[in-house]
Amino acid sequence: MIESSGHSEIIRCLNSLNDSILSMPDSAEQLQKIYVAGFELKVFDRFPKCVGVVRDQCIALLVPGTDGMQILGTPGWEMGDAIGVLVEAGGRLVFQAKQEVVEATPERLEALRRFREDLRQLLEPTSS
């Protein structure tokens, strides 16, 4: 389990989740590994069973599953309290959350690609 020394953000996120996540032994370890790798952990009132994982303005929601934490939906761009989904609008790629639109520049697309790849690697089960 996670010790409180230096990991108060992880503990705050874990405490705010439903008890079902705590019953899975590897979920806490996965979240700690993600946090140590430089990702920020967030909780959202609208998604009480999810943990938001953020790095370089990229965001994904994680939910507890049978094999630990899993990505819910598709990672996107953090836009305030919303997740901007990558879509094509007017012949160009943009991140959109409701009426708000952010240009999907090559730099942002590369940041999202790295984010997805790094997060998936961190979520892969490790053999003991």
DSSP string, the chain: ---STT-HHHHHHHHHS-HHHHTSHHHHHHHHHHHHTT-EEEEETTEEEEEEEEETTEEEEEEEETTEEEEEEEEEEEETTEEEEEEEETTEEEEEETTEEEE--HHHHHHHHHHHHHHHHHHSPPP-
| pTM listed for this prediction | 0.77
120: how many CB neighbours lie within 10 A of its CB?
A: 12
Whole-number pLDDT of residue 128 = 47
Q: Is the dihedral of CA 3, 61, 66, 127 positive or negative?
A: negative
Whole-number pLDDT of residue 108 = 98
pLDDT tens for each residue of the chain, 128 residues long: 333 344 565 655 666 554 444 544 478 899 999 999 999 999 988 888 899 999 999 999 999 988 889 999 999 999 988 999 999 999 999 999 999 999 999 999 999 999 999 999 999 876 54
Whole-number pLDDT of residue 8 = 60
Whole-number pLDDT of residue 17 = 57
Whole-number pLDDT of residue 5 = 40
Whole-number pLDDT of residue 48 = 87
Closest-CA residue to 13 (of 25, 1, 26, 28):
28
